[in-house]
Structure 1
Amino acid sequence: MLAATGLTVHYGPREVLRGVDVSVEPGELLAVLGANGSGKSTMLRAVAGLVPATGSVTVDGTAPGPLDIALVFQRIHLVGRRSVLDNVCAGALGRLPLHRSLTPALFPRAVREEAMACLDRVGLADRAHDRAGALSGGQQQRASIARALCQRAPVVLADEPVSALDPAAAERVLALLGELAHAERLAVLAVLHQPELAREHADRVVGLRDGAVVLDGAPDQPVDFLYPHAQLENAS
């Protein structure tokens, strides 16, 4: 579903991503691991088109359109004063006419019903009419995943989506991403800083070191060599 080939990124004279190839199949949760500064978040942003890069990115064999890739970030971008339902409906903005997107009150009934179904999918239907700011961190991240589902994108990119969560919430969010990848046939790429979560929930692991792919395979293979000792202690 998602294929990136030869991705190279420079920040000034420094090459931070060096010809990276990565692919994700429909129904697969791919975890990208690496130490701080290894290039893993830069890779995700290059795939999403958020940083200038050379190389190619395709979704289902063609250049990605504006609705093909949904993003979930470490920093949860919900509008706290709006309802959870309004925030999830915002995932559909790219396929609504302009006059319908000016205020949440104009979201069509069909979109609101779809957003409710997405909230039910992530276990938050009972919080639909609460203010988004009243949710816990883990609940907010699940709401952001529901918003990504409402976008109907076949590819979901998650940049360290659990690094700000407590261990129990992190487990729930990673389990949800894996479940959605399998059940909805989504291609999910998640940048993680916790090897143990990748071992438990990912279908495949890619490891980056110094801006290059040095590992690609089963989630239970050794990954300690990706991390300096101090970083591995923090990541585990």
Structure 2
Amino acid sequence: MEQAAPMLSVTGARVRFGDREVLHGVDVTVAAGELLAVLGANGSGKSTLLRAAAGLVDAEGTVRVDGHERGRLDVALVFQKIHLVQRRTVLDNVCAGALGRLPLRSSLVPGLFPRDVREEAMGCLDRVGLADRARDRAGALSGGQQQRVAIARALCQRSRVLLADEPVSALDPAAAEQVLGLLAELAHTERLAVLAVLHQPSLARRHADRIVGLRDGTVVLDGRPDQPVESLYPHAEPALEAVS
């Protein structure tokens, strides 16, 4: 039986900053229904890989979503820094995920989102367990709750690919577990392709379906989440896994 094409495919990605090449022809794929964790030490190129997949940096190579070259709205993004409008309601923040497909006036007056968009946003909030906070100001939520709102906003974008750049690094351990568990659940139940850059190997082992490891801008491992990853952190203390 022929294997389905990956939902996200990055082929031959090369990125240079000045005279320094930070990605050296990287190939990465993510299937629909899969949470892929990208691990590596600081400076390994993992966040640059995500930004190349998102079109946020100039890169050689090819990025395809569902077999087609990536368009501007084909991927949704979740970052370490949670970019919510703190004074707006949670619901308005989630509705903002639909701005790319709405008339320009909606971006100028965000409180006037169409009814169908607001209903869709409520469904996205329900999906992340925060429908009861829809009318609250975003700034009143905890860090973990705000990151779940950011994920709901990404869902409202209707992308089949979600890219998360260290989405839990600013969260406490309990909130980090909840957010990674949510990303895994969304990948499996919504058939999303989720690529998450992480710096916690233990979290990746518990929640990812597959791990890709980068070292010096090159993929050095790609496989099961229980594979050894110590080679990615040559200067780490022996207690790396215990504190991750």
Whether TM exceeds 0.5 here: the answer is yes
Residue 132 of structure 2 aligns to a residue whose secondary structure is helix
What per-residue deviation string (whole Å, max 9, x for no partner) do you get for residues 192-236 of structure 1? Answer: 000001100000000000000000000001001100343674562
Q: Structure 1: which amino acid aligns with 2:181?
A: A
- Select 1:193's aligned residue among 188, 199, 219: 199
1:179 and 2:220 aligned: no
1:104 deviation in Å?
A: 1.9
For residues 238 and 140 of structure 2, the distance between their equivalents in structure 1, rounded to whole angstroms, comes to: 34
Q: Structure 2: which amino acid aligns with 1:171?
A: E
1:50 and 2:68 aligned: no
If the length of structure 1 is used for normalisation, what is the TM-score?
0.98
- Select 2:18's aligned residue among 12, 16, 34: 12
Report what 1:147 is aligned to.
153
For residues 169 and 59 of structure 1, the distance between their equivalents in structure 2, rounded to whole angstroms, comes to: 30
For residues 106 and 228 of structure 1, the distance between their equivalents in structure 2, rounded to whole angstroms, comes to: 52
1:63 deviation in Å?
A: 1.2
For residues 239 and 42 of structure 2, the distance between their equivalents in structure 1, rounded to whole angstroms, comes to: 13
Equivalent pair of 1:35/1:231 in contact (CA under 8 Å):
no
Q: CA RMSD in A?
A: 1.1
- Select 1:122's aligned residue among 128, 138, 153: 128
Structure 2: tracts of 5 or more residues without a match: 1-6
Alignment of structure 1 residues 1-236 onto 2, 5 Å: 1-230=7-236, 233=239, 236=244
Query: Given the superposition, is the C-alpha separation of residues 203 and 94 from structure 1 closer, same or farther in structure 2, using an over 3 Å criterion?
Result: same
Identity %: 78
1:105 deviation in Å?
A: 2.2
More deviation in 92-101 or 43-52?
92-101
Structure 1: tracts of 5 or more residues without a match: none
More deviation in 154-163 or 99-108?
99-108
Equivalent pair of 1:9/1:15 in contact (CA under 8 Å):
yes
Q: Structure 2: which amino acid aligns with 1:20?
A: V
What per-residue deviation string (whole Å, max 9, x for no partner) do you get for residues 134-172 of structure 1? Answer: 110000000000000000001000000000000000000
Tell me the matched-pair count.
236
Equivalent pair of 1:5/1:57 in contact (CA under 8 Å):
yes
Residue 38 of structure 2 aligns to a residue whose secondary structure is strand
